[in-house]
Chain A
């Protein structure tokens, strides 16, 4: 091996690199924690941890410059450092076994976190008492949908992701007999009824929007608030414009229009994940300690019914006791409407087992390692004491 290659190898195996990477990661975690006050937890994750570099936007400009290594960069290098040192220094001796095991566990934990970041999907399921749903909805991702209800058996749904709406493009789709032009888009908004005299005039020419205007709002990052997107959508058919619609998540009622003898629905909604089973909320309970407002327990009694008719049972979901079914886990997450609505968090995470295995390996490894050290220390001490006693 030549000198350059060796120094390259030594660099990646070195403890110095480990220490510096650990220090960088500590600073990163600390600063990210502080920034949670401003940005909220989701934006912080994207900016600091799920990124290769932390960017800083120069005030009053669109230019961002990297100012600090991000989580993927530090975590990736740490992983390389760890694996390299592991391979290079690996020696199967009893004395080193604890350290080897603990570090192997750490590698698994880091990989697990990476896989979770890449593969896990979180959504939520909001159910009123008595309501049945086949799908859960995303926290933050939205879509513009056009639904053809003309077939009584199945609906034809064309979903346009929010990203495409944000680009304000003309969207042409093979299943749509018309073109969809996004005229305006607001990532967070409110709606206001149009006043009879002064004030802004509506942009929409069709549907509910003819009596409403969009009020743009600042993006929110608070954990208990959501951004409500709205847009003005023009439907353009070969014969010409069919009018401008206001699509917004504020609108609860569906808006429909007729084209070529078919009824189409237009809506801006949260991205849905459909499941081969349905959940019905039978009862939501919110217990408090007597004489206080301190919540003692939240629980939802739900009925799970699979589409294939093989399953139909009741389950009680409560704090610290989720329902695991069909690869999804349903957690009691919140409630609404005077305790008549439950909010369940729905998680699909194929790599959920990795941290458990990693934990066992690391705990076991460290116990072995420190146990060996401690045993050695005690042996030496008792030898020294014996020597002192003899003297």
Chain B
């Protein structure tokens, strides 16, 4: 049995991963999966409605879980269908995250009224929205870094409401009892209306009623044209530009020129009608028709859209997180019992999680047609990926579970960080002009990010050294020597990559704006990593530090790298700044303190370590 354990673990893990690839089943017959695959253009790219649903609910609610007022959980796609086609119902879902009590108070709400005391429905917010608007306008004049938590929260809540309104007004006009019949009636009245308008312009007798009807429609449609955010209507058949998608509102405004209502908008209205009426058959038919019609015209875009919605439901990074945690636990346990069997099990699990993240990253690269790192979110994915790869190599070489422990820990932590970074919206966002260079993104960004990964890895290996040394008796001479070599090797590797990456960044800068080095915070951050790694190497070569000192220095490398990765962005200056991130700031401070404490642990003289009694525990 023990002999087969690694194989069994591997098989179970693989089974778990395979299960995420199944086509998701739809409850109640509505083919929401196909609905989620319908593409729209928003944020500069064509993406499936499923992505729209997920990123919107993530920014509004802070997670993808949604419950109806009667406590039933629904998928993001079902939620989006309600928002688009049944807003009165969607308005009752408690989804608006408000984390600041003063803002709850401002909106004249009680904490107890909220789901989990922090999530409220649009219905609840509605009466005080003008006040929220007024407060937000006052905040506008305050510079971002100077805003109080209350002011920041006012802006966030207002943005959440705005995102919701934009969705709600993307397809149907507000307060329409039945948008489909409204459009059908409009389509019928259109010829008479157009004639009346022409007659009036020519100063000829005309029907005032027909004129009035047209004016009402113009008002309604221009309202959704103004607010609607999703470009649901594909370009006209003769239009070669694949990006010329329009909003439903603007397509409806065009009706007056074209003489009939746009068929795609009618299609959406029919889907809405079926959704509200519980008409499963029509819903599924119209969705399929809409999907297939687009598939014929845009085979490439639709392929990506389909893969993307599938990728969303498979959630490879989420399953990897689970596998990383398991890896970590099994590997740590291997130091206490069944070292060989558990080590191999952990190694296979780590490899499996690595395969899943690799697949996820490759899919994202294919969807974007970009190198792996394009924004902070993808840098978190890639740092984790590269670290785990190094860990797999270490584990294969040293076979002592150290690589698996570090890989499980760093893999999990980076995916957790990535998850929090994804709360701000679509993670496949478009590249700003200044960064739009696949060559430099592939060389500079990837190299420097591998440098980050290696510096972190050296730091985490050092933490393992310190913890095992101080708290357990398991750090015998062999393990200590192996860890020492690992850290030294990884620091060399980190020096190489962070140096080359930093210099490549300089060359990119020289190519792009004529300045090899500009002392930009992010550049300085990268430089500090290089310097710190060089300090470790020179201090070791000069005999200024021995094993324990080098471990403490490697732990400090974690602080240096975190500063460069996140801290520099928080300054709010320079080319690479992504704005002030308050929540991340407290985490960063907490992390720095934790690393300083570990360095303090390392400073405890070695004869006081628990492992000092278990033979000679390293030099």
B514 and A329 within 8 A (CB): yes
Which of A14, A44, A289 has most B Cβ within 10 Å?
A289
Which A106-133 residues have C-beta < 8 A from chain B? 109, 112-113, 116, 122
Residues of chain A within 8 A of B516, CB atoms compared = 112-113, 116, 352, 355
Given A295-B432, A319-B434, verify A370-B496 contact (CB < 8 Å).
yes
State the Cβ distance, B167 to closest chain A Cβ, in Å.
14
A268 within 8 A of B: no
B159 within 8 A of A: no
B514 and A320 within 8 A (CB): no
User: 0/1 per residue, A17-56, Cβ < 8 Å to B?
Assistant: 0110011011001101110110011001100010000000
B586 within 8 A of A: no
B571 to A, closest residue via Cβ: A37
Cβ-defined partner of B573 (8 Å) among A109, A223, A289, A362? A223
B436 and A297 within 8 A (CB): yes
Distance, CA A288 to CA B436, complexed state (A): 12
Which B505-561 residues have C-beta < 8 A from chain A? 506-507, 510-521, 524-525, 527-528, 531-532, 534-535, 538-539, 541-542, 544
State the Cβ distance, A284 to closest chain B Cβ, in Å.
13
B525 and A331 within 8 A (CB): no
A374 within 8 A of B: yes
A122 and B514 within 8 A (CB): yes
Cβ-defined partner of A113 (8 Å) among B43, B485, B517, B568? B517
A29 and B528 within 8 A (CB): yes
Cβ-defined partner of A18 (8 Å) among B45, B397, B521, B542? B542
Which B555-592 residues have C-beta < 8 A from chain A? 563, 568, 571-574
Residues of chain A within 8 A of B437, CB atoms compared = 319-320
B512 and A29 within 8 A (CB): no
Distance, CA A343 to CA B432, complexed state (A): 18
B430 and A296 within 8 A (CB): yes
B507 and A359 within 8 A (CB): yes
B544 and A19 within 8 A (CB): yes
A359 to B, closest residue via Cβ: B503
Count of chain A to chain B residue pairs whose CB atoms are closer than 8 Å in the complex: 160
| Segment with Cβ contacts to A, from B181-189, B468-476, B487-495 | B487-495
B499 within 8 A of A: yes
Which of A49, A122, A288, A319 has most B Cβ within 10 Å?
A319
B145 to A, closest residue via Cβ: A37
Residues of chain A within 8 A of B43, CB atoms compared = 289, 291-292, 294
Given A223-B573, A294-B432, A377-B485, verify A30-B503 contact (CB < 8 Å).
no
A355 and B432 within 8 A (CB): no
Residues of chain B within 8 A of A359, CB atoms compared = 500, 503-504, 506-507
A291 and B542 within 8 A (CB): no
Residues of chain A within 8 A of B397, CB atoms compared = 381
A367 within 8 A of B: yes
Residues of chain B within 8 A of A15, CB atoms compared = 538-539, 541-542, 544
Residues of chain B within 8 A of A366, CB atoms compared = 495-496, 499-500
B138 within 8 A of A: no
A345 and B528 within 8 A (CB): no
User: 0/1 per residue, A285-302, Cβ < 8 Å to B?
Assistant: 000111110111110000
Residues of chain B within 8 A of A116, CB atoms compared = 516-517
User: 0/1 per residue, B416-432, Cβ < 8 Å to A?
Assistant: 00000000000001101
Residues of chain B within 8 A of A194, CB atoms compared = none
Which A91-117 residues have C-beta < 8 A from chain B? 109, 112-113, 116
A32 and B571 within 8 A (CB): no
Which of A37, A358, A367, A374 has most B Cβ within 10 Å?
A37
B514 and A33 within 8 A (CB): no
A363 within 8 A of B: yes
Residues of chain A within 8 A of B436, CB atoms compared = 296-297, 319-320
A292 and B430 within 8 A (CB): yes
A259 within 8 A of B: no
B594 within 8 A of A: no
Which of B397, B489, B503 has most A Cβ within 10 Å?
B503
A16 and B542 within 8 A (CB): yes
Cβ-defined partner of A37 (8 Å) among B489, B531, B573? B573
Distance, CA A14 to CA B541, complexed state (A): 11
A306 within 8 A of B: no
Distance, CA A45 to CA B528, complexed state (A): 16
Residues of chain A within 8 A of B518, CB atoms compared = 41
Distance, CA A115 to CA B433, complexed state (A): 30
Cβ-defined partner of A333 (8 Å) among B495, B504, B513? B513
Residues of chain A within 8 A of B542, CB atoms compared = 14-16, 18-19
A331 and B513 within 8 A (CB): yes
A319 and B512 within 8 A (CB): yes
Residues of chain B within 8 A of A274, CB atoms compared = none
Main DSSP-derived SS at the A contact region:
helix
B514 and A373 within 8 A (CB): no
A206 within 8 A of B: no
B231 within 8 A of A: yes
B92 within 8 A of A: no
B42 within 8 A of A: yes
Residues of chain B within 8 A of A26, CB atoms compared = 528, 531-532, 535
Which A239-292 residues have C-beta < 8 A from chain B? 288-292
Distance, CA A373 to CA B513, complexed state (A): 38
B41 within 8 A of A: yes
A170 within 8 A of B: no
A333 to B, closest residue via Cβ: B513
Cβ-defined partner of B514 (8 Å) among A22, A45, A349, A356? A349
Residues of chain A within 8 A of B573, CB atoms compared = 36-37, 40-41, 223
Which of B41, B433, B495, B500 has most A Cβ within 10 Å?
B433
A49 to B, closest residue via Cβ: B519
B542 to A, closest residue via Cβ: A15
B535 and A377 within 8 A (CB): no
Distance, CA A292 to CA B243, complexed state (A): 12
Cβ-defined partner of B506 (8 Å) among A41, A355, A363, A367? A355
Distance, CA A294 to CA B514, complexed state (A): 24
Which of A14, A16, A49 has most B Cβ within 10 Å?
A16
> Which residues of A pack against B, CB within 8 Å?
14-16, 18-19, 22-23, 25-26, 29-30, 32-34, 36-37, 40-41, 44-45, 49, 109, 112-113, 116, 122, 223, 288-292, 294-298, 319-320, 322, 329, 331, 333, 345, 347, 349, 352, 355-356, 358-359, 362-363, 366-367, 370, 373-374, 377, 381
**Contacts A109-B503, A291-B44, A347-B514 known; 6 new A-B pairs at CB < 8 A:** A23-B535, A116-B516, A288-B44, A289-B430, A290-B243, A359-B503
> Which residues of B pack against A, CB within 8 Å?
41-45, 231, 243-245, 397, 429-430, 432-434, 436-437, 440, 485, 489, 492-493, 495-496, 499-500, 503-504, 506-507, 510-521, 524-525, 527-528, 531-532, 534-535, 538-539, 541-542, 544, 563, 568, 571-574
Q: Give the 10 A-B residue pairs with the shortest CB-CB distance, closest first.
A: A289-B44, A15-B542, A347-B514, A290-B243, A359-B503, A295-B433, A292-B44, A33-B524, A366-B496, A319-B433
> Can you name 22 A-B residue pairings with CB atoms under 8 Å?
A15-B542, A18-B542, A19-B538, A19-B542, A19-B544, A22-B535, A22-B538, A25-B531, A40-B573, A290-B231, A291-B245, A292-B43, A294-B43, A294-B44, A294-B429, A295-B432, A319-B437, A320-B440, A355-B503, A366-B495, A370-B492, A374-B489
